[in-house]
Chain A
Amino acid sequence: AQSVTQLGSHVSVSEGALVLLRCNYSSSVPPYLFWYVQYPNQGLQLLLKYTTGATLVKGINGFEAEFKKSETSFHLTKPSAHMSDAAEYFCALYNFNKFYFGSGTKLNVKP
């Protein structure tokens, strides 16, 4: 069965601090993994994706994620949070022509 678990529905960090959003997955086949961001009243925007190859993936806006097969994880990080990063983030897995989304993590950035 395919599933995605995001730990922490809400994460709060100070501006300039490290951002870490956790994602674990379950997949019966090698997964394709994605992080999407959703700003208020907007659709989803792709941050980054892992399909094959290098396990450290760099995305837009300074975000990156590392695929760790042994830990079945794909955590999203950013070294220094900016106020504009406040949004909801979704981890997703793609298999068999379908996307499976995690429940989302709302990131709050404090000044």
Chain B
Amino acid sequence: SAVISQKPSRDICQRGTSLTIQCQVDSQVTMMFWYRQQPGQSLTLIATANQGSEATYESGFVIDKFPISRPNLTFSTLTVSNMSPEDSSIYLCSVGGRGGAPSSYNEQFFGPGTRLTVL
């Protein structure tokens, strides 16, 4: 299985500021996903980040608010920009498609999440 780490594990931020969340994987993966889990709710996909291409954002999420970088096959960052209390959530990184293969469902693993509180 893939080992995924996220930094920071939690943070408390002031409104109007930005936070960058890092996701590191111990092996090369094709597809990386960023999810948001708001309090008491399920996971919502923010975007899919494939190395070498622009991230693909889901409806309701925009690049200006959630810019994503994917510089290589083991690392990605998600920035939550101009934060408001409504951005308080757990942000989860997940990966799929180890070894460069695009098949994500067979190799889907989740990071431990970043708990963000915006005051």
A residues engaging B (CB < 8 A)? 32, 34, 36, 41-46, 49, 51, 90, 94, 97-99, 101-104
Contacts and interface: CB of A to CB of B under 8 A. Distances in A.
A103 B105 contact: no
A46 B48 CA distance: 20
B110 A98 contact: no
Contacts of A36: 110
Interface residues of B, number: 21
20 contacts: A41-B115, A42-B112, A43-B4, A43-B112, A44-B94, A44-B110, A46-B108, A46-B109, A51-B106, A90-B42, A90-B43, A94-B104, A98-B45, A98-B48, A99-B33, A99-B43, A99-B105, A99-B108, A101-B42, A103-B42
* Residue picked from A34, A41, A90, A102, most chain B C-beta under 10 Å: A41
Contacts of B113: 42-43
B53 interface: no
B32 interface: no
The secondary structure that dominates the A interface is: strand
Interface string B10-53: 00000000000000000000010100000001111100100000
Interface of B: 4, 31, 33, 41-45, 48, 92, 94, 104-106, 108-113, 115
B110 A103 contact: no
Given A43-B111, A44-B94, A44-B110, 12 more contacts: A32-B105, A36-B110, A41-B112, A43-B92, A43-B112, A44-B43, A51-B106, A94-B104, A94-B108, A99-B43, A99-B105, A101-B43
Nearest to B102: A97
A51 B105 contact: yes
Nearest to A45: B110
A62 B50 CA distance: 35
Contacts of A44: 43, 92, 94, 110
